[in-house]
Structure 1
Amino acid sequence: MKLFRLLCGFGLLAVLASNVWTISRWSESRGVYDDVCYLRQAHLFQKYGLGGIDTNVIFDGDDYLKNKLKAIDYAEWNDVKRAPCHTWIPATDKYVMQYPPGTGFALALFREELQVISLYVVTNVTILAFALLALFRARDPASLALAAVFGFAALYLMINPSKASYSVPPTMMLCAAAGFLTAKYFVERPQRRLLLITQLGLLVGLSVNFRLPNLFLAAGYCLYLSGAFLLARSKETFLRGLSFGIAFLIGMAPTLIANAINAGSPFSTTYGGVDVVPPELNRSVLLSYLVDVQFTLLAISVAWTVWLWRFDQGRARQVALLVAINLAVNLIFFMTHPIFTPYYIIPIDMLSLWTLLFATLDRRGERAADSTAFPQPANA
């Protein structure tokens, strides 16, 4: 066991080294509109500090946006009001960037020209850390093999499809952390669960600042905690739900502030076009998911969730319930969204898989634990 664990650890380090080598040759000018916009917000943060949360196109006095668009041969590069991924907001009389501020802020932490490479390297190191954590929590050969395979797959995903959008790497880090804390919540003593659920609310809230649809990552937690309170009607379950909700709002506060500044209200969207059309079932969108790697990850998540529910009667079954609720809500949203993108359901897939991984490791390693996180009816 010890030798195999060390070999797997060195194998993960080798994959990390390969990823870093690949990432080090990436270019920030790959002709993608989203890239330009994320880098523009990073530039605004570096130039104006926290004031960079205001993405009004008039703040292009140094022609940063124009030069970026010209570099990718954008036909109307000289007219910033025609810039891609910017929306006209009548309420504020502004052309503003449609994305929440988190990705731009994360990129702004690094030096220009190395922002993307640095962000992806940090993400890879973070994912390696969680993969090693899983590896060293394994208590038997089967768990060790599971953790090793999962770690290699997770690091692979840091190159493809996560390179499709700069918003994915920070989301992936938060999903790994949230998955670990979710599984830990179900094995901790009741007096520590309040702190854990507060941390979870903060992490899931922070994820909204990178991708607005990450808002739905909170759905399973909200419904689960609501069900816990309705069954127990106790002070503890009420405080857990309240703490999660408050922490979630605090975490996504930057997006609410950005909406207020750029769209005129915390609850108004800066998105436009196809992103705000009513949901519908689109055959081409569904087929696109079926032939994409996202569907493979989804299928694994669903099968793993069913397995935990079927073969466990304790805390791991409660993890399966939470994951199942979260998967269902997120899939309903994305499968009825009118457009397909190769990374849309990656966050819910990875949050579910990290949670299931750590829950499985805990189940095999601490099967004798005696408490349950989900309250039962008084007559049960």
Structure 2
Amino acid sequence: MPDSDKRPFVLIVDDVPANIRILAEFLRDGHDIRVAARGADALDLARRLPPDIILLDVVMPDMDGYEVCRRLKADPVTAEIPIIFVTAKFAPEDEAYGLSLGAVDYIVKPASPAVVRARVKNHLELRAARETLARQNAALTEAAKLREDVDRIMRHDLKAPLTGIIGLPPLILNEGNLSDTQSMFVHLIEESGLKMLSMINQSLDLFKMERGTYVLRAESMDAAAVVRRLFVEMATVAGYKRNVLALTVAGRPDDGKMPVRLTAERLLFYTMLANCLKNALEASPEEGVVTVDLRPGDPAVITVTNQGVVPADMRGRFFTKYATSGKLDGTGLGTYSARLIAEAHGGTVRMETSDATGMTTITIILPQR
């Protein structure tokens, strides 16, 4: 479709001059008209000066309209031009055949001026809408690609300066002559650098999971030990609202000693459970109980249950990227990354929440290889 300040270009193809004159008269207001009396001329003109729409007769010498349509649709230069058959062939099978070749419409002669103008207008607008949508899709695709490229570059480029940040504190500490306060600050710098490096590495892993290129390094591990460690690390967070953290194994209280063996990638398993626990603690009421239950087997089943229900607007998008509700500092990546990690293990994760019981449970199912 031409620019909005240009008149649409209509190509009329018919071997009868009187028919061309009639159609041209119908469309002379608001359209630029070009004509062709033979199929070969129509093909040549359409390639050299692609029109915005073609009105095509069927019965013509040398090459009929059906063959002209077939060739136009086979040529990348002309394939997207809408074609309307305008013909005296009125049998239903003729119309069906014409439409099957790629024509957008079929008008039987004699046609009224109003019908011809309305059909041409509608198909020109449809073509313009399709082209606008295609441009928007291309722009969105390019923007998404640019964002991915920037994200990937930042992930890789941030690791280089972090190497210096992490490597310098041990050298400074080895030099000595630091006060206790100064030593504490240097340790904090090193710890913060290591945490940032871990975040970048996890971000790279999630990037690979999104594209299905992550290579899983599963091993036999003690899931109970991971949960106990998380409870210690999250004790401060739980303490803000006096929440209780409880571990059960197949429904029975953990004795703090027995291992629960399952096969998973240790760091990913830790990250997945940490995200689920953090989410559960944030959603729990004062003095609420958050329970992690481990059920070994094939598949292994891990549940994280907390008091409190998921907001209605979150239930259908709980595991989608950037989904968050009512959190000023929420990124919407916690449950999303938990889903990606579960799927990287060949497993699944689901959420169940109940207004009746006031409880929410996240269930993770991990096949054991």
TM-score computed with the length of structure 1 as normaliser: 0.25
Higher relative contact order (CA 8 A, sep 6+): 1
Higher strand proportion, which one?
Answer: 2
Return the structure number with greater helix share: 1
The structure number with the bigger radius of gyration is 2
